[in-house]
Structure 1
Amino acid sequence: MVDGFVFEDEPARLELLNQACRALDIIAVNEKAMEDQPLTVTGSMGQMVIHPLTGENRAQRGLFKELVGAMKLPEAELIVKLKEDARTDAAKKAATVRWDRGTNVIPIQGA
């Protein structure tokens, strides 16, 4: 494994790293905001739609993966996989808590 990376002579990689960190910050803020929120909301036409922050986090995760890949680090694939696994585990736990509280009950019309 690599002990660390030095980007002093690589400003392009440093900028990619800064952008990747910003993406992770946005993901963390959104996840915190979603803690007590339902997974779905009412759309403009009255339909149930995915919560906008869920979609935003999906986009930010994709951006993070692209940015880390663009840095062409020797262990980039491993780092991305570990981050995805950690986020997936956290998301599963959060969803379980929300479902256990009954905040994601979708009413059945005509019942």
Structure 2
Amino acid sequence: MGISETPDGLGEASLSLWQEVQGTFELGPGETALLVEACRTVDELEAMGLALAAGPALVQGSTGQPKASPLFAEARAHRLVLGKLLEQMALPDEGEDVGRTPNQERASKAANVRWDLERRRRGTA
């Protein structure tokens, strides 16, 4: 397997992700770029987690009211981004030769729902 050069400045968790994916899969340039961004996102999530642990969970809002730290929303957004990046890489699951893209996954689920409805309509489910 060809391992791309490890990006500079990766944290412990993102370095582990990089090594695991690079050691398991042969990635094309686009997938490698997505992996770099996923690793950076993991590092950002870790930094936010440390900041949340060290700082207050509640901060003062614009009118003096207590509100949740904006880092909670940012961390949630980063988790969504990380999920999308990993999904876009379309890495195969265990036992698969080729991973499916998000569009292929959605199409497969939709087809399964249609077939399930058809089986129920016919009384064969």
Q: TM-score range by the shorter chain?
A: 0.5 to 0.7
Q: Deviations over 1:52-73 (max 9, x none)?
A: 1111111110000000001111
Q: For residues 52-63 of structure 1, what are the structure 2 equivalents within 5 Å?
A: 52-63=70-81
In the other structure, the counterpart of 1:27 is 45
Gaps of 5+ in 2: 1-20, 95-125
Which contiguous aligned blocks of 4+ residues in structure 1 show a shift greater than 6 angstroms? none
Gaps of 5+ in 1: 77-111
TM-score normalised according to structure 2 size: 0.53
Displacement after TM superposition at 1:15 (Å): 0.6
Q: 3-state DSSP class of the match of 2:54?
A: coil
Q: 3-state DSSP class of the match of 2:26?
A: coil
- Which amino acid in 2 is paired with 1:45? T
Q: 3-state DSSP class of the match of 1:49?
A: strand
Q: 3-state DSSP class of the match of 1:41?
A: strand
Matched, 1:50 2:68: yes
Q: Within 1, Cα distance between the matches of 2:50 and 2:93?
A: 28
- Which amino acid in 2 is paired with 1:22? R
Q: Deviations over 1:54-102 (max 9, x none)?
A: 11111110000000001111239xxxxxxxxxxxxxxxxxxxxxxxxxx
- Which amino acid in 2 is paired with 1:4? T
In the other structure, the counterpart of 1:6 is 26
Give 2:54's match in structure 1, choosing from 26, 36, 41: 36
Greater relative contact order (Cα 8 A, min sep 6): structure 1 or 2? 1
Displacement after TM superposition at 1:36 (Å): 2.3
Displacement after TM superposition at 1:44 (Å): 0.9
Tell me the matched-pair count. 73
